[in-house]
Amino acid sequence: MNQDKKKFQVKKLTLSAMFMALGLVLPFFTGQIQQIGSMLLPMHLPVFLCGMICGGGWGGIVGFILPLLRYALFGMPPIFPKGLAMAFELATYGIVAGVLYQRSKWHCYRATYRCLIIAMIVGRFVWGVVYAILCGMTQQVFTFKLFLMGAFVEAIPGIIIQLLLVPVLVKTINKATRGPDW
């Protein structure tokens, strides 16, 4: 039994590394679309997937490290305040989506959507709080209107993509890694 548990942890570690790599690379593709590249939220998708497939702990770790590592390697996103706020936001996505999904009685589309939408709302709230705190430390203005614009209005294309792709990808990856019992 101990050997099976060890194999399962190695599988989660490997999948988490794959999601981390995907999160590093995806922004290069979406960044080519000048007007809406950042609105597609390319780093969010692998974090949601990691949380739901590998669990909240792994999703949280990948979510927190991803924007910081991307900044260290490529200089984007700008680390302060955007990158730091994103680290907390993405960590929240990974944790909340993962914990809710793992505790869900069923792993159907409805449960996946429920977990995804709750994680999106909580993560955006965390982003707003952290961003407001960071802006307050530097005397930058961050109003409720700016929060709504950044968290929701400008993110509409990415939110739509997440709602369309995450449930399908979770089901597909689960079938490929766990078998057809999903």
Q: What is the pLDDT of residue 1?
A: 58
Tell me the pTM.
0.93
181 or 10, which is more confident?
10
What is the per-residue pLDDT across 116-132, written as a single tens digit (0 to 9) for each? 999 999 999 999 999 99
Q: What is the pLDDT of residue 36?
A: 80
> CATH classification of 13-26+43-173, choosing from 1.10.357.10, 1.10.1760.20, 1.10.10.10, 3.40.190.10?
1.10.1760.20
- Span 91-108, average pLDDT: 95
What is the per-residue pLDDT across 58-89, written as a single tens digit (0 to 9) for each? 999 999 999 999 999 999 999 999 999 999 99
The Cα–Cα gap between 55 and 94 comes to 8
- Span 163-172, average pLDDT: 96
Q: What is the pLDDT of residue 174?
A: 86
Kindly state the percentage of the chain with pLDDT values over 70: 97
Kindly state the percentage of the chain with pLDDT values over 90: 82
- Span 158-173, average pLDDT: 96
Average pLDDT in the chain: 93
* Cβ contact 126:92 at 8 Å: yes
Query: Angle CA(71)–CA(144)–CA(44) in degrees, nearest 5?
Result: 35
What is the per-residue pLDDT across 25-55, written as a single tens digit (0 to 9) for each? 999 998 877 678 789 999 999 999 999 999 9
The Cα–Cα gap between 98 and 139 comes to 35
Q: What is the pLDDT of residue 118?
A: 98
Domain ranges of the chain: 13-26+43-173
> Is the pLDDT assigned to residue 5 strictly greater than 90?
no
Q: What is the pLDDT of residue 182?
A: 38
